[in-house]
């Protein structure tokens, strides 16, 4: 299916041009972003409305493709199509969504997954999570916000879902100068949390008011790995959200599980998930700051066979890297004493600024500083419904390390 426009339409698009020292070769090889210091930002370019489609040229005026421009963002242009004559209409979206859906249909037998993982699925800045007959879109780039109507129509056409919601939370939209107004785009809003089956467990996803889109699908394979270690175990799940690791452990036969989170609302959803699994008798929650709760559990002499810590991004950007690594080290230092002899400690990071080597080093330092010794038995990443774009390191953000302590 070819999506092109007439030459007159193509000529009507604004043109933006790289500076002579910009890396046009990287763009030709698949890097999807142009930073503000790489683009000629004359008065005409600065006047473009956020999300405006434009033809990107190199410094020799050779076309590189069609981009979405946002003069308010440090990522001033995002590559949308290598064909400068492409038309960003419903058909254009349908082609990309159909390709994304075909992969997920190969991977999963039930429609609960990340359907679109931004740049890696050809839709820069766009996240779409699917919950059966409902999808949640996070349009984290101005070009996608501008084209929400054809995106929504294409999503319904390709998947057949009835309800589409917009989630406008998150740091990225603020960096794009976008609002934080979430709401419905199509169909009826759900009247409560949605049950989501995953790894034998049942999770309750608040798709209208929860964190992100309501559930974190990225940890699915790591939940499964931890579950394989959990039979008969005492489990501690810190930064549990709606019970990610703890409910997977209970489904796999854990003796008991304790979920810790700062949000009582998230813990209530975790409790509802445990009840749906008929595992509420083996499940408990503890609300509070994770660092404080870990400290208190240590003072109580608590011991667990499996301890998992899955915190939010402590290093969301390079300027926050040093502080973030210190926080990861502190988590490891507080969690390691809670692991019974020959037990398992799982430590996770969703900070793209902290690469695997740096994160692993922080974890090892934290474990060592409380006199424990550990061997690394498994390194996990996001599931295959979160594909990585090889040219974009940020798309491989999730790391999960499992140590035998």
Q: Note the pLDDT of residue 170.
A: 77
Alpha carbon dihedral 283, 289, 294, 295, in 10-degree steps, equals -140
Q: Cα–Cα distance between 106 and 127 in angstroms, integer?
A: 19
H-state helical runs in 196-307 = 220-228, 244-251, 264-276, 290-300
- Both tokens of 48, joined, read 């473009």
Consecutive sets of 10 residues in the chain, 405 residues long: mean pLDDT of each?
42 91 94 97 96 96 97 97 96 98 97 98 97 97 98 98 94 91 95 96 93 92 98 98 97 98 97 98 98 98 98 92 97 98 97 94 98 98 96 92 98
pLDDT at residue 56 in the model: 98
pLDDT for residue 11? 58
What per-residue confidence (pLDDT) applies to 77? 98
From 5, 135, 309, 350, the catalytic residue: 350
Identify each DSSP E strand in 61-193 by its residue range: 63-69, 75-81, 112-117, 126-131, 134-139, 163-166, 183-186
Question: pLDDT value at position 7?
Answer: 38
Contact at 8 Å (CB) between 239 and 261?
yes
CATH topology classification for 195-404: Rossmann fold (3.40.50)
Q: List the CATH code of the domain at 90-186.
A: 3.30.750.80
Within this chain, domains 7-81 and 195-404 share the same CATH topology: no
Query: Is 350 assigned a catalytic role?
Result: yes
Q: How many distinct helices (H) and strands (E) make up the chain?
A: 13, 19
- CATH superfamily name and code, 7-81: PUA domain (2.30.130.10)
The residues spanned by each domain of the chain are 7-81, 90-186, 195-404
């Amino acid at each position: 299916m070819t999506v092109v426009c007439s030459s007159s339409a193509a000529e009507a698009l604004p043109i933006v041009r790289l500076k002579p020292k910009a890396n046009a070769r990287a763009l030709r090889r698949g890097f999807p972003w142009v930073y503000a210091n790489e683009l000629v930002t004359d008065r005409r370019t600065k006047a473009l409305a956020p999300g405006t489609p434009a033809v990107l040229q190199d410094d020799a005026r050779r076309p590189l493709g069609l981009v979405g421009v946002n003069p308010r963002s440090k990522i001033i242009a995002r590559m949308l199509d290598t064909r400068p004559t492409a038309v960003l209409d419903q058909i254009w979206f349908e082609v990309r969504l159909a390709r994304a859906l075909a992969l997920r249909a190969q991977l999963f037998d039930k429609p609960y997954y990340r359907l679109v993982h931004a740049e890696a699925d050809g839709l820069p800045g766009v996240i779409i999570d699917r919950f059966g007959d409902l999808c949640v879109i996070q349009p984290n780039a101005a070009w996608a916000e501008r084209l929400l109507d054809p995106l929504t129509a294409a999503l319904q056409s390709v998947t057949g879902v009835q309800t589409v919601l917009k989630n406008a939370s998150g740091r990225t939209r603020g960096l794009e100068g976008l609002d934080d107004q979430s709401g419905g785009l199509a169909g009826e809003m759900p009247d409560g949390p949605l049950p989501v089956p995953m790894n034998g467990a049942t999770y309750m996803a608040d798709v209208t008011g929860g964190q992100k889109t309501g559930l974190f699908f990225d940890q699915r394979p790591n939940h499964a790995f931890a579950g394989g270690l959990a039979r008969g175990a005492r489990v501690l799940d810190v930064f549990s959200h709606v019970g990610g690791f703890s409910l997977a452990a209970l489904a796999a036969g854990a003796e008991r599980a304790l979920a810790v989170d700062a949000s009582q609302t998230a813990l209530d959803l975790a409790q509802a998930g445990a009840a749906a699994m008929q595992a509420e008798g083996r499940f408990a929650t503890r609300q509070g700051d994770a660092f404080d709760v870990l400290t208190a559990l240590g003072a109580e002499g608590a011991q667990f066979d499996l301890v998992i810590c899955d915190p939010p991004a402590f290093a969301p950007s390079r300027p926050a890297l040093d502080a973030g690594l210190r926080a990861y080290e502190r988590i490891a230092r507080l969690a390691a004493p809670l692991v019974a002899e020959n037990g398992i400690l799982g430590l996770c990071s969703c900070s793209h600024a902290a690469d695997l080597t740096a994160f692993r080093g922080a974890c090892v330092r934290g474990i060592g500083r409380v006199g424990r010794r550990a061997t690394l038995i498994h390194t996990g990443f996001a599931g295959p419904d979160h594909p990585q774009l090889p040219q974009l390191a940020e798309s491989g953000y999730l790391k999960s390390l499992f140590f035998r302590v």
